[in-house]
Structure 1
Amino acid sequence: MTRYAAKFQLGLILGILLLAFWLSADFQQIAAGVALFLLGMMMLEDGFKALGGSVLERLLARTTGTLPRAMGFGVLATSLTQSSSLVSVISISFLSAGLITLQAGMGIIFGANLGTTTGAWLIAGVGVKVDIARYAMPMLALGAVLMFQRGASLRGAGQVILGIGLIFLGIAFIKDGFDAFSARFDLAQLALTGLVGLAVYTLLGAAATVVMQSSHATMLLVITALVTGQIGYDNALAVAIGANIGTTVTALIGAASANYQGKRLALGHLIFNFVTAITALVLIVPLRQSVDLISDLLGIRADDFALRLAVFHTLFNLLGIAIMVPLMARLLRFLERRIASPAPNVSKPRYITADLGTFPAPILTALGNELRHLYENAAHLICEGLNLRLEDLTQSKDIAVTVTRSNDPIMLDFERRYDDKVKSLHAAIVEFAAQKATLALPEATVTRLQELRDAAGAVVRAVKAIKHMRDNTQRFTTVPHGEITQLYDGLRQEIAQILVEIAHIAQATPDARPALWMEEERAALDIEGRAASQRVEGALQTRRITAADATSFLNDSGYAFEAMRALLDAAQLIYLPTDAPKPESVGVTDALAHDTQPTSPATPAD
């Protein structure tokens, strides 16, 4: 939808509302009730994000390994939060971050559709039969008090209570409005029968859900209208089917800023709901007969059309699941073909471009994956800057021999490669971390964001250090220069050894990653640095190297050890558990500086 079409739609809706307000005061009360209901749903959703968002995330991560578990999570989460949109947004975020599979995401959507039927049961069984306005008032007061507390949990609980109070008050407003409206007008006269009625009221249900962005609100209106006699039972069934179609628009809007996986999930949601709706329309007669049979068995009165509508809502959603689950494999293959995964681009962010919401797990996972992407680019550039190939090093049985034999010059524009593959990614990571740090996230999440941002800065420092020593390294290692070539090969071997060890750590499971190795290696760097200085001094005293070459090596040795320390800092922050010992603080501002210089030797004249 274009911007102008959206403005036209908004203007049309506002115009219709104003006209209806002018024509009927009772309609004003119904509209106000819908507004209170929608506001309550929003408050309830925000409250569950603050109060139970992390709980939902943990449950989702642990209970979606199989399709039945994923469906169970969808049913449970939607029944508890009464918000299928919240569950859908969490699912899209987790799928975009790679925390769950597409099959698990579809299973959650199937379950969430079934979970929405609990709202219809609550409205039909309690909402329109009990004076719930009397319960709304104390909830509004308690919720407002809790919302102004400092603790995030208390504020979240306040939003949940306030949301429930607003929902109750909205239901009461709508019920009273329809009662008054029915005394003056009889909308039941607009009832349509046969296929025409089925089609028209299905479209009305879909349109109402699209406008209000809530199938719960549509079901509330149709159940209330059904109880007050403003709509016929057959037409109400069609509205319920239409509401199922309209609810897919929320998922489509949520997927607009998602990556290809999120778009696949949204398309799958659309297909599932359309198949369910079409099947329900085709089988409307046997479905109604089945509803009557089940209602009689449950003891639901023949004239209690509200509860019978809830039975129908549940039955046709179960029918959709029964149809689509056996076709899951074909559906997944279709989605993967229809929305192909993009070709990987090493120069652009891959993981942090999707809308990941405000949920800590997908945010940290996506940032961690992007940081590993940055490190991989940097590791390859560091090796090529030293006339090495990372693939040769990781497959080598003797790194020293591989380094010594790597004396063919690798021609590359180091500065341009740095700008394309490292600097742009680093800027995206810093911006992403800064934006997410402004959200209402747990303190541990904000701390981890800072650690990952610091790790990105360490990676950049390592690359810049190698850039400074590249010219001399190429000069002395591509053509034999005696003792000085051996000294530079020694530096290359030290750096290569660390890169290979980090590559092994990246491939290992978290429990198998050796935290002690990094601490030992960091301590050994100081010893190696002093040993390198002593070797240069001995070679200079015996005139095996010139003073100019010694100065160049001492300076480049400083850059080399700075690069190795930075690589160790980055690897420790990226790969080790969060409770492992942390390196000293790594400043992002240092990594952003244009000219990073080593602390020991001065810059050589050459």
Structure 2
Amino acid sequence: MLFRTRFGAVAILFLALSALLAGCSDRGEHTVDLVRIMQGDEQCALPGREFPREIRVELLGPQVPGLLGGKGSRAPVSGVKVLFVPVDGSDLVVTPAETISDAGGLAAAKVRAGQKTGDQYLKIIPVGFESKSVTLRLISGMQIKGDEEEYRTGTIGDNSVEVRLQKDNKPAAGVPVNFKLLATSEGATSNASILSPTVVTDERGVAKTSVKLGQKTGIYQVGIEVVDPDAGFLIRSKTIKLLGFNLWAVVIAVLGGLTLFIFGMKLMGDGIQKVAGENMKKILQFFARNGIVAVLAGTLVTAVIQSSSATTVMVIGFINAGLLTLTQAIGIIFGANVGTTVTAQIISFNLSGLALPAITLGFLITLSKKREINGWGETLLGFGLLFYGMTMMSDELRVLGDFPSFKEFFKAFDCMPAEPGSWMPLGAVLGAIGIGIAATVLIQSSSAAMGIVLALAGSGLINFYTAVPLLLGTNIGTTITAMLAAAAANRVAKQAALAHTLFNVFGVVLMLILFYVPYGPERIPVFLYFINAITPGDVFAAIPQNVERHIAMAHTFFNVTVVIVLLPFLKQFASLCNWLLPIPHDSKIKIKMLEPGLLNTPSIALKQTVTAIRKMVKDAWAMVDEAVNKQFLPGVSDKERCEALAAAEERIDEMQAEVTAYLVQITRKQLTEPQSELVPLLMHCTNDAERIADHTELILQLTSRLVKNEKKLSEAGRKDLRKMWDVLNDQAKNVINALGSDNPAMVKFALKDERKINKMADKFESAHIDRLRKGNCTMTNGVIFIEMLGELAKIGDHLSNIAERTPEIQKHYVNL
């Protein structure tokens, strides 16, 4: 019931906005301002034969400014009578000779060639708007073979162009046919050529020539002209296209463009991070206090670093390190899905002209040694590379948009309804979603996959109906990164990865439902209608307008819509993940303090290192406490407890190795100067913490000697050690607390305690020597007592060393 209510609200919102925007676009206008020839111009047919393609024109109204600016669009004009009239003596036969434009402004007719040969003309007249009439040319008496045929580049196609001439139902022999190379994909430097520029038709009325293609994939235009009045042929230049295809060149160009695109995207994100500082990433942890703020944090950070996958991987790391709860993480993931749409919005604008200037200027700026200026340079350089790579992909795919084989391939998952007003084919929709998933899993970047979708749409290989399911697939495919990152993480991190997947799957299901909620007289899916209404240009026109911007807007509003729907149920969504992937009651969530996933955020990684060192000091001090107060002072040597303390000391040694290795990995990242200076301080602190634990073993050895001596320390000696212990204990607590706060007073107290300890050690040693002289203590116990004073003093020195370095730690990485 709740789902139906929520879905109903979303549908009503789309309908209301669409109705409002539809009213603003003035679609009811019936003024014909433009007649656009969609299909059928420049066709050839033999006398008495039907031309292969029907004539199709589109009637459009005046230019309407876009709601959000831009060039705007022209609305189709329906209900207008259209006449198809042969002119200039043409004997073309048109069926029907008049028709009415449909809801999409389209009017169509089939044409049969008469007995006249040569150029024939057909005038298309919108009744009532005769001034907008257009005339197209048809060619009778000629048939061409080879137009839009595909050949390998660098080859000579046998009989690549064949012209057949016929008059009075008989082959026209002995007629000269002229062939001229008009344009090539390589421009003036092309080595393409026509082997026989002029060929006379044989007894079958056929003239053949071969064309040598260049090395570059693209269109090679050939003009065909027949001028022989005596034979009854006056055909001005008819242009045909030969399609040259170089597979390896295409693959290299597309993959090269994709590589530059991904590298530019990463470089731009890294540059922005240098400019904005690491506070952008710290937002994920420290501004995720409630759902809305978490969403905003995830959106902002993802928009900056240009990768939702990177954001979710960081979130997994934060969870595994115990820095985020599941609910906070889900909020950030929601925001990351919105933030990742910024990339598509950027690349949907035609800014390719800025690519090379941005690359040049950005490179020069990166030569600066100042971090922030260098960051601006990387941002600009990345921006240029992104658009240069996008242009490479788009240019290559745009050429392939004319290749029939590629058109047929993409028709396999074409999601456009078969007829206006009919449903989108479900099988094709699911197939497109699957392709989007596979492509994103393979590339490991939804932004890069979206770049490919935009390039395909810009080249005309896919339409808006197909692009939207593809982008839905990219949203599901991008979740694989979080799943892989969570594979070795704790249960809560796995729940967060599951939440990312469920969120995107839910969004796709919601959009699938909206695909089958029609709206408007054209019965367009309500979500697609809404996107078309708020975006400049008409993407549903016979020649789609502004397709890339429509796709980017669909990507953004899809994710925003899903966030709006699910945000009120953030806690329930977390509960669902907990139910689907429960945490056993008898298990404890394993927290990995030194999480590798945090290394890309050095500030937080250093903070985790400080936390780990604090734990080392705390654990080492607990060991010393037990050794002194439960074994040495009572004069008891418990073998079982000694073994437990030895195992704990080994664990401290392991922690020292882990912290040191982690700090070494941090140094391999881009660090600020204060961060670089902090690393050696933390290494020294780690060593001091480990040495404090080492003193446990030495104290246990003293205890063993004391027990073997079978004589306890004198009461005065034990009293002195307890006094010294109280001060040392106070120092340890101050050091531990100082590592976890920004209170400088605790550091001062710790250093003050260390001075007291040194004075007490000297004083108690002198007093003990007096007791030895008076015979109040045995020589063996006396040596043990003095050694114990030394052990406590050394522990105090190690604590003091940590305390001296703590102010710098507090300054940068404690109070975050």
TM class by smaller structure: 0.7 to 0.9
Does residue 1:552 correspond to 2:784, yes or no? Answer: yes
Q: What does residue 37 of structure 1 align with?
A: 261
Closer/same/farther in 2, CA of residues 388 and 456 from structure 1, 3 Å limit: farther
More strand by share: 2
Q: Give the TM-score, by structure 2 length.
A: 0.60
Q: What does residue 325 of structure 1 align with?
A: 567
Given that 1:94 and 1:362 are in contact with CA atoms closer than 8 Å, whether structure 2 keeps it comes out as: no
Overall identity of the aligned pairs, in %: 22
Q: What does residue 461 of structure 1 align with?
A: 691
Q: What does residue 680 of structure 2 align with?
A: 450
Q: Which residue identity lines up with residue 697 of structure 2 in the other structure?
A: K
Q: Which residue identity lines up with residue 683 of structure 2 in the other structure?
A: R
Q: State the distance in 1 between where 2:702 and 2:359 align.
A: 73
Q: What are the within-5 Å matches in structure 2 for residues 493-512 of structure 1? A: 493-499=723-729, 502-503=732-733, 506=736, 510-512=741-743
Given that 1:70 and 1:107 are in contact with CA atoms closer than 8 Å, whether structure 2 keeps it comes out as: yes
Given that 2:747 and 2:803 are in contact with CA atoms closer than 8 Å, whether structure 1 keeps it comes out as: no
| Cα drift, residue 500 of structure 1 | 5.1
**RMSD of the TM alignment (CA)?**
3.3
Q: Which stretch shifts more, 311-320 or 331-340?
A: 331-340
Q: What are the within-5 Å matches in structure 2 for residues 52-201 of structure 1? A: 52-124=276-348, 126-127=349-350, 132-185=351-404, 187=407, 189-193=411-415, 194-201=425-432
Does residue 1:23 correspond to 2:247, yes or no? Answer: yes
Q: Which residue identity lines up with residue 231 of structure 1 in the other structure?
A: I
Q: What does residue 420 of structure 1 align with?
A: 650
Q: State the distance in 2 between where 1:502 and 1:203 align.
A: 60
| Cα drift, residue 243 of structure 1 | 0.9
Does residue 1:525 correspond to 2:766, yes or no? Answer: no
Q: What does residue 46 of structure 1 align with?
A: 270
| Cα drift, residue 544 of structure 1 | 0.6
Q: What are the within-5 Å matches in structure 2 for residues 44-443 of structure 1? A: 44-124=268-348, 126-127=349-350, 132-185=351-404, 187=407, 189-193=411-415, 194-256=425-487, 258-286=489-517, 288-293=525-530, 295-296=532-533, 300-302=537-539, 303=541, 304=545, 305-336=547-578, 338=581, 340=583, 343=588, 350-388=592-630, 409-411=637-639, 412-414=641-643, 416-443=646-673
Given that 1:300 and 1:307 are in contact with CA atoms closer than 8 Å, whether structure 2 keeps it comes out as: no
| Cα drift, residue 164 of structure 1 | 0.8
| Cα drift, residue 300 of structure 1 | 4.3
Report SS of the residue matched to 1:578: helix
Q: What does residue 470 of structure 1 align with?
A: 700
Q: What does residue 393 of structure 1 align with?
A: none
Q: Which residue identity lines up with residue 272 of structure 1 in the other structure?
A: F
Q: Which residue identity lines up with residue 222 of structure 1 in the other structure?
A: V
Q: Which stretch shifts more, 63-72 or 300-309?
A: 300-309
Report SS of the residue matched to 2:289: coil
Given that 1:117 and 1:310 are in contact with CA atoms closer than 8 Å, whether structure 2 keeps it comes out as: yes
Q: Which residue identity lines up with residue 268 of structure 2 in the other structure?
A: L
Q: Which residue identity lines up with residue 65 of structure 1 in the other structure?
A: R
Given that 1:203 and 1:242 are in contact with CA atoms closer than 8 Å, whether structure 2 keeps it comes out as: yes
Structure number with higher relative contact order (C-alpha < 8 Å, ≥ 6 residues apart):
1
Given that 2:750 and 2:800 are in contact with CA atoms closer than 8 Å, whether structure 1 keeps it comes out as: yes
More helix by share: 1
Report SS of the residue matched to 1:510: coil
Q: 1:514 aligns with which of 727, 746, 750?
A: 746
Q: Which residue identity lines up with residue 39 of structure 1 in the other structure?
A: F
Q: What does residue 398 of structure 1 align with?
A: none
Q: State the distance in 2 between where 1:419 and 1:475 align.
A: 20
Given that 1:96 and 1:354 are in contact with CA atoms closer than 8 Å, whether structure 2 keeps it comes out as: no
| Cα drift, residue 424 of structure 1 | 1.7
Closer/same/farther in 2, CA of residues 299 and 142 from structure 1, 3 Å limit: closer
Q: State the distance in 1 between where 2:746 and 2:259 align.
A: 57
Q: State the distance in 1 between where 2:331 and 2:589 align.
A: 27
Q: State the distance in 2 between where 1:378 and 1:237 align.
A: 59
What are the superposed Cα offsets for residues 339-398 of structure 1, whole Å, 9 maximum, x if unpaired?
A: 6496478xxx94115432321222112212222332232122212222439xxxxxxxxx
The structure with the largest alpha-carbon Rg is 2
Unaligned runs of 5+ in 2: 1-243, 416-424, 519-524
Q: Which residue identity lines up with residue 765 of structure 2 in the other structure?
A: S
Report SS of the residue matched to 1:355: helix
Closer/same/farther in 2, CA of residues 260 and 52 from structure 1, 3 Å limit: farther
Q: Which residue identity lines up with residue 417 of structure 1 in the other structure?
A: A
Closer/same/farther in 2, CA of residues 77 and 468 from structure 1, 3 Å limit: closer
What are the superposed Cα offsets for residues 172-214 of structure 1, whole Å, 9 maximum, x if unpaired?
A: 2222222211223352544544111111111111111122222
| Cα drift, residue 240 of structure 1 | 1.2
Closer/same/farther in 2, CA of residues 161 and 256 from structure 1, 3 Å limit: farther
Q: Which residue identity lines up with residue 184 of structure 1 in the other structure?
A: F
| Cα drift, residue 478 of structure 1 | 11
Q: Which stretch shifts more, 324-333 or 424-433?
A: 324-333
Q: Which stretch shifts more, 191-200 or 416-425?
A: 416-425
Aligned length: 539
Q: Give the TM-score, by structure 1 length.
A: 0.79
Q: State the distance in 1 between where 2:531 and 2:403 align.
A: 36
Unaligned runs of 5+ in 1: 1-19, 390-402, 581-606
| Cα drift, residue 152 of structure 1 | 3.4
| Cα drift, residue 267 of structure 1 | 2.4
Report SS of the residue matched to 2:278: helix
Report SS of the residue matched to 2:630: coil
Closer/same/farther in 2, CA of residues 156 and 297 from structure 1, 3 Å limit: closer
Report SS of the residue matched to 1:352: coil
